[in-house]
Amino acid sequence: MGIVAGLDSSSAFTRIVVCDTDTGAVLRQGYAPHPVEARATEIDPQVWLLSLGEAAAGGLLEGVQAIGVSAQQHGLLTLDAQGNLVRPALLGNDKRAQAAAADLIDALGGRQAWAEAVGSVPQAAQPVAKLRWMARSEPESAQRVASVMQPHDWLVWQLLGRPAHRTTDRGGASGTGFWSAGTGSYRPDLVELALGHHCALPEVLGPADAAGTTPEGLLISAGTGETMAAAFGLGVGVGDAVVSLGASGSVMAVHHEALADPSGMITSFADATGMHLPVVHTLNAVRALRGTAELLGMEDLDELSALAMKSTPGSSGLVMLPYLEGERTPQLPHTAGTLSGLRRESMKPEHLARAAFEGMLCSLADAMDVLRGRGVEVRRVFLLGGAAELPAVQTAAPAIFGAQVVVPQPADYAALGAARQAAWALGVSQGTLSPAAPPAWQGAAAQVFEPGEELAVGQAVRQQYGATRDQIHPGAFNPTS
């Protein structure tokens, strides 16, 4: 039996899982929060190392043969010619680069040009936009930039003792805005367009490659971003979609090719296995539930769910378009939410509660239709987030999504995915695994819900929602554009 570790450095904490290489069984776990200041928009990345050391204290890594690293995405670390940080790390939640992203879109000739170049349209979170922001707002610092990295790249580099050669992986590279998942290559001209000059970029490793070995003989795998690591930890494959229920929402699916989307609704990531992870985001998911609960004077979402279960599918004709913060899918950045279908018989708390759940799920089903409209197969849906445990979600989701719904048991899936990557790289290095096939770890424990006889009812709910959406926002949503 071999032992590997998966390390997930998120925006708020470090989690470590130590796993059996053959089964993926978790043997030990470690956790440490990041300092409060680490949750700002920029930070000294040394706090990540301090948190890592705290999480690994007490001999947690004893006997470990390989480590995989997962970390928060879209962060940017800029290094000078000596390998020192030019400035604190810029994090993914930094929105200062919004104008820079728009500037870049125009500079290359529009959304279509970017979609064809790298599979995504620049957004404030992406490193390419952050580089443009630096060039405009901090020109002296920008001129000193000799190389760039992302958080998981930097952590891998630190674990290896800061070697001259720096690496990343396909998943991380695909989120930069200057690497194409479709061609598997960098676009250094886009780095120069953003920064104003050339800089060194890390080598993009394959899914089963090792980034290197420490002097003590500990193998470090390529590492990847949290989204890719979580998908790998869940064990999703072709035909699977993952719906994440946070304040905002996202739908991603495993696909055999990168998708270029000039509308900007699809962001085409590479995954941690050699496949692709097209993702569609919504700006509103659980925030619509929380807003409705507050409106009804409720303390929590469990109470809102119980009330919604007293209503019936279709909420007595009440429809909520949950675009409370504007919306990204469809692209309606300046709109507001809508409550439609008010009649005397529908003006009851239970119908409003159910309309909130149906509106959230129909909005995410719209996002799923964007993927399906581009040929992405969805037969099974993994539902993540605390709201996935609510009966009102579990009852309605299979019929509205038109697919089997799986609600995995809560676990550190990003850390598990990083550990699985480490086991794969270790097995390849030892000749016991093929670079083409990751270790077959046991899938996540989960509840499974089938659409069954409710499928037609769910489609009627979606039709009611779609008719309202198209009446209020005609022409805004075209999933096949």
Asked whether 222 and 167 are in contact (CB, 8 A), the reply is yes
Residues constituting the chain: 481
What per-residue confidence (pLDDT) applies to 38? 47
What per-residue confidence (pLDDT) applies to 36? 66
86 CB neighbour count, 10 Å cutoff: 19
**Domains parsed from the chain with CATH numbers:** 3-222 (3.30.420.40), 234-408+451-481 (3.30.420.40)
pLDDT string in tens for the chain (481-residue length): 799 999 999 988 999 999 999 999 999 999 999 876 545 789 999 999 999 999 999 999 999 999 999 999 999 999 999 999 999 999 988 889 999 999 999 999 999 999 889 988 898 989 999 999 999 999 999 999 999 999 999 999 999 999 999 999 999 999 999 999 989 999 999 999 999 999 999 999 999 999 999 988 999 999 999 999 999 999 999 999 999 999 999 999 999 999 888 777 888 899 999 999 999 999 999 999 999 999 999 999 999 999 999 999 999 999 999 999 999 899 898 999 999 999 999 999 999 999 999 999 999 999 999 999 999 999 999 999 989 999 999 999 999 999 999 999 989 999 999 999 999 999 999 999 999 999 999 888 899 999 988 899 999 999 999 999 999 999 999 887 6
| Beta pairing, strands 210-213 & 179-180 | unpaired
